[in-house]
Chain A
Amino acid sequence: MNGAAVVGTVSETGAPSADDPRRGVLEVNDVVVEFDTDGGRITAVDGVSLHLATGETLGLVGESGCGKSTLARAIMQLVPMQRGSVRLEDTDLGTLPRRELRRMRHRIQMVFQDPRGSLDPRMSVSTLIGEPLRVHSIGDRTSRARAVAEAMELVGLPTAVADRLPSELSGGQQQRVGIARAIVTDPAVLVCDEPVSALDVSIQAQIINVLDELRDELDLAMLFIAHDLSVVRHLSDRVAVMYLGQIVETGTASEVFSEPRHPYTQGLITSVPRADAASAARLQTARRLVLGELPSLLDPPSGCRYRTRCPYADDECAATEPPPEAVDHADGLHSLRCHHWRDIAARSEAQPSSNSQEQAQ
């Protein structure tokens, strides 16, 4: 199987070329976002590329502080990029003048992590949902009212709450308002930044289902950011794993979950708690895989960024940064950044106690 691997600095997702029919509605290329902090300059997003096709969901996972939310904000053009491009339906958002960018925004919308905080506390539910239509001058007063009512129905909000203020709603309802706001302009791309992590566990599934239905109904391309793998697994067609500002592994969801190759991905997947005793035992061995704390972005490790926590790290990992390496796999594109993934794969085949079996279920 190793023979199929192609070594080289291809983009992580193996973004298709311009004439490729799989070319996505959203193309993110080599995005770098830097911030000045009190401690110095940090690179929160370090050369991330990804692409999204219509109707497709890309799950972006990683620990808190790995740059997922910053990447989302860079895609939304809410934070400035130092390098790279974000192309939405063949328009480069990064180079657009402010006014043009503002006009494009109805095609790409975002659902925020904090449902209460992302809604203006002084606006009623119907005003909030209608606002994107109003600021983009879509339709007239009556058609807007109709669109708002439709959006409310789509996300499962009762008409009775139309005149309420956000503070009078439950967390789940607040997030439904956030989603309704995001889809009311019929966008091509929906960026969801941990849309359920602030919610009660009992509500999370409902919101996930709402997003799931909307994606199919509206043919949305969705970037779904989460740190909860089970949520991502349920929704995503493809998965990208982020670590310290870089995408360390990406591939189709089934592939990444059943056959994770990067040691970090393996660690993440085995750290999902399982109810049965056998996997609880495996969890003990898995603990080994994600060790210690996330290193500071102010002083990222040399070479491979994961080496400080990786059980397989050696001198090569400290010396050179592994380039994104494409793995040609039967069911789609798979790429990762690791010097030793072949050895690691070979080792886990030798002692088949690892994740592949567990994930196959």
Chain B
Amino acid sequence: MSVIVAKRTGTDPGRTSQHRVWSRLIEALGSRGWILLVLFLVLLVAASIVPDVFAPHDHETQNLRARLLAPGESSPDGLHLLGTDSLGRDLFSRMVIGTRLTMFIAVTATLIGAAIGVLFGLLGGYFGGRTDRLLMRLGEAQTAMPMFLVAILLLSLLGPSVGILLVVLPCLVWPIFARVVRAEALRLREETFIEASVATGCSTSTILGRHLLPNVAPRILVLCVVEIGHVMLSEAGLSFLGVGVQPPDTTWGLLISEGRPLLAVAWWLTILPGVLLGITVLVLNLLGRYWESRSGAAG
């Protein structure tokens, strides 16, 4: 037993400087810090389920007398914690309302991408040979293409909609899942327990679904958490360019986009949703990497 534990705690050679930054951040979190991260995510999820509890104002009510109020200023309606936009709508409330769609798109698109990537990765890694080459070339072709431009093209041709976002965004993430899962499947397929499963009489689908998948599941979960953040950024990018989510729906990316023309006069409209987006992505990344490092150490 001790031998195995020792083998697992051994540090990975070839860590990049980027990895070091992350591990230092994770160290700074300490053993309790991740609770704060989870708490933050719980708040976000709660805000997307019951936004009215968190929003101090109605997010659609316009008040032209209270236009472009800076954070902390009050209107007759009350305090505007994060200020108001050019139509006098409360920014904080709009950010709370935007959480739902932001989270929904990011989570759903990541899950769709993960499902495709995991399936392709398992098949490619386990079968190897031609199947593997085909699937991996597909992923590489996908990665080589400027997917963002393709997305813009698609969305401007077909007209932007949440549905199309849920087609385009998974395309951005599935190759990442496929690569990670394939590498794991390649490693696992050489393990004796896979050979033992074949000898026992397991079918290929049993081996893929009941042996390989559960053994890569922890890595998939960690990757999901990290990728939700990345998808969130991509969605914000598309919305910022005007080919993503359209008003009256709103997401953080769209809020940033709407604030951009007023950046000189009302910085908060762009910066504050941007900060929220940045923090969320950072929290997701930290949490994913924290779990990864912990599962790596403790098995």
Q: Which of B1, B192, B197 contacts A114 (CB 8 A)?
A: B192
Binds A, one of B44-52, B151-159, B198-206, B278-286: B198-206
Contact between chains at B211 and A135 (CB < 8 Å): no
Q: Could you tell me the distance between the alpha carbons of A167 and B197 in the complex, rounded to whole angstroms?
A: 18
Q: Counting CB contacts under 8 A, is A109 at the interface?
A: yes
Interface residue count for B (Cβ, 8 Å)?
19
Knowing A120-B215, A122-B214 touch, does A132 contact B192 (C-beta < 8 A)?
no
Q: Which residues of A contact B195 (CB under 8 A)?
A: 73, 78, 112, 118
Q: Which residues of A contact B191 (CB under 8 A)?
A: 117
A80 to chain B, nearest CB (A): 13
Q: Which residues of A contact B203 (CB under 8 A)?
A: 102, 135
B248-277 at interface with A (beta carbon < 8 Å): none
A127 closest partner in B (C-beta): B210
Q: Could you tell me the distance between the alpha carbons of A109 and B200 in the complex, rounded to whole angstroms?
A: 6
Contact between chains at A118 and B196 (CB < 8 Å): yes
Q: Could you tell me the distance between the alpha carbons of A123 and B193 in the complex, rounded to whole angstroms?
A: 11
Most buried by B among A73, A113, A117: A117
Q: Which of B1, B201, B211, B215 contacts A132 (CB 8 A)?
A: B201
Knowing A105-B201, A121-B215 touch, does A135 contact B192 (C-beta < 8 A)?
no
**Per-position 1/0 for B162-204, Cβ under 8 A of A:** 0000000000000000000000000000011101111111110
Interface residue count for A (Cβ, 8 Å)?
26
Q: Could you tell me the distance between the alpha carbons of A323 and B267 in the complex, rounded to whole angstroms?
A: 92
Q: Counting CB contacts under 8 A, is A119 at the interface?
A: yes
Knowing A117-B192, A117-B193, A120-B215 touch, does A76 contact B199 (C-beta < 8 A)?
yes
Q: Counting CB contacts under 8 A, is B299 at the interface?
A: yes
Q: Which residues of B contact A120 (CB under 8 A)?
A: 193, 197, 211, 214-215
Q: Which residues of B contact A181 (CB under 8 A)?
A: 196, 200
Knowing A135-B206, A167-B299 touch, does A118 contact B201 (C-beta < 8 A)?
no
A184 closest partner in B (C-beta): B200
**Per-position 1/0 for A110-136, Cβ under 8 A of B:** 101110011111110000000110011
Contact between chains at A118 and B206 (CB < 8 Å): no
A114 closest partner in B (C-beta): B192
Q: Which residues of B contact A119 (CB under 8 A)?
A: 193, 196
Contact between chains at A110 and B193 (CB < 8 Å): no
Q: Which residues of B contact A164 (CB under 8 A)?
A: none
B240 to chain A, nearest CB (A): 42
Contact between chains at A131 and B193 (CB < 8 Å): no
Knowing A120-B211, A121-B215, A167-B299 touch, does A102 contact B201 (C-beta < 8 A)?
yes
B201 closest partner in A (C-beta): A105
Knowing A135-B203, A135-B206 touch, does A118 contact B193 (C-beta < 8 A)?
yes
Most buried by B among A73, A102, A119: A102
B274 to chain A, nearest CB (A): 41
Q: Counting CB contacts under 8 A, is A106 at the interface?
A: yes
A76 closest partner in B (C-beta): B199
Q: Could you tell me the distance between the alpha carbons of A73 and B215 in the complex, rounded to whole angstroms?
A: 24
A245-278 at interface with B (beta carbon < 8 Å): none
A167-225 at interface with B (beta carbon < 8 Å): 167, 178, 181
Contact between chains at B197 and A109 (CB < 8 Å): no
Contact between chains at A131 and B215 (CB < 8 Å): no
Q: Which residues of B contact A112 (CB under 8 A)?
A: 192, 195-196
A131 closest partner in B (C-beta): B200
Q: Counting CB contacts under 8 A, is A141 at the interface?
A: no
B191 closest partner in A (C-beta): A117
Q: Could you tell me the distance between the alpha carbons of A105 and B199 in the complex, rounded to whole angstroms?
A: 7
B71 to chain A, nearest CB (A): 50
Q: Counting CB contacts under 8 A, is A103 at the interface?
A: yes
A136 to chain B, nearest CB (A): 6
Q: Which residues of B contact A106 (CB under 8 A)?
A: 201
B51 to chain A, nearest CB (A): 39
B150 to chain A, nearest CB (A): 38
B1-18 at interface with A (beta carbon < 8 Å): 1, 4
Q: Could you tell me the distance between the alpha carbons of A89 and B198 in the complex, rounded to whole angstroms?
A: 20
Contact between chains at B202 and A78 (CB < 8 Å): no
B195-254 at interface with A (beta carbon < 8 Å): 195-203, 206, 211, 214-215
Q: Which residues of B contact A123 (CB under 8 A)?
A: 214
Q: Could you tell me the distance between the alpha carbons of A123 and B214 in the complex, rounded to whole angstroms?
A: 9
Q: Could you tell me the distance between the alpha carbons of A73 and B199 in the complex, rounded to whole angstroms?
A: 9
Contact between chains at B199 and A109 (CB < 8 Å): yes
B206 closest partner in A (C-beta): A135
Contact between chains at A103 and B196 (CB < 8 Å): no
Q: Could you tell me the distance between the alpha carbons of A76 and B299 in the complex, rounded to whole angstroms?
A: 32
Q: Could you tell me the distance between the alpha carbons of A96 and B195 in the complex, rounded to whole angstroms?
A: 19
Q: Which of B1, B192, B215, B299 contacts A118 (CB 8 A)?
A: B192
A182 closest partner in B (C-beta): B200
Contact between chains at B200 and A121 (CB < 8 Å): no
B254 to chain A, nearest CB (A): 42
Q: Which of A117, A121, A135 contacts B201 (CB 8 A)?
A: A135
**Per-position 1/0 for A13-47, Cβ under 8 A of B:** 00000000000000000000000000000000000
Q: Which residues of A contact B202 (CB under 8 A)?
A: 102, 131, 135
7 A-B contacts, Cβ less than 8 Å apart? A78-B195, A78-B198, A112-B195, A118-B196, A120-B211, A121-B215, A135-B200
Query: Which 10 pairs show the lowest CB-CB distances between chains A and B?
Result: A105-B201, A117-B192, A118-B196, A122-B214, A118-B192, A120-B193, A110-B199, A132-B200, A135-B202, A76-B199
In addition to A78-B198, A118-B196, A120-B211, 8 A-B residue pairs with Cβ atoms within 8 Å of each other are A78-B195, A105-B201, A112-B195, A119-B193, A123-B214, A135-B201, A167-B299, A178-B196
